[in-house]
Structure 1
Amino acid sequence: MAKEILQIENINATDFKNEIVKDVTQALKGYATTLQNPDNEILLTREETAKMLSVSLVTLWDWTKKDIIPAYRIGNKVRYKKAEVLTALQQMNKFVSK
């Protein structure tokens, strides 16, 4: 494993500390934004998704092929975003009002 060396010149300790605090604060703000809605990025397996929807794997596959529920292929695995599954479920359960 190669070591990285950082050499800092012509900066005082206070300015260096302020730069670090500023960058860490920006990074944490970005991270906090993703944490506000943590379900958005949770990936579910086919089995977890089918269980959550109380359907068989065959039904889930059929809905995936019909683009009712979006799926993502990661290598040879299929995953579903939890938020998108819940949205699709809401769409399926809407009653058409006349």
Structure 2
Amino acid sequence: MSNVTQVHNTTTEQLTETIFKGLDQRIEDLKRSFTPKEPDTYLTAKELENELKISSVTRWEWGKKNILQPRKIGNRTYYLRSEIKELLLNSNK
């Protein structure tokens, strides 16, 4: 069983214009709500300390308490910027 829609007293130009207006509105809504995903960047321990204005002791304690999740790559320690951003956003709640 198929659905049939009949349009009376409307020209093809009016119908086309109505459809395009609806599409334009949807596209504008998507543009407003769309936020491009940024590539995740890593911060070194020093960069993290400088951005958050914390000491190395605080950074180390936060790592031990699982407040921050350090990533070890070789013998270097990095922190994901997105996790730090999430931490700061959730700390205000």
- Shorter-normalised TM range: 0.5 to 0.7
1:15-69: per-residue Cα shift (whole Å, max 9, x none)?
A: xxxxxxxxxxxxxxxxxxxxx322x510000010111111111101110111001
Larger radius of gyration: 2
Aligned-pair identity in percent equals: 34
Answer yes or no: is the 8 Å Cα contact 1:70–1:85 preserved in 2: no
1:82 equivalenced with 2:86 (yes/no): no
1:17-36 mapped onto 2 (5 Å cutoff) = 36=36
Which aligned runs of 4 or more in structure 1 are off by greater than 4 angstroms? none
1:72 alignment counterpart: 71
Displacement after TM superposition at 1:71 (Å): 1.2
Secondary structure of 1:73's counterpart equals: strand
CA RMSD of aligned residues (A): 1.3
Normalised by the size of structure 2, how large is the TM-score?
A: 0.56
* Unaligned runs of at least 5 residues, structure 2: 1-35
1:45 alignment counterpart: 44
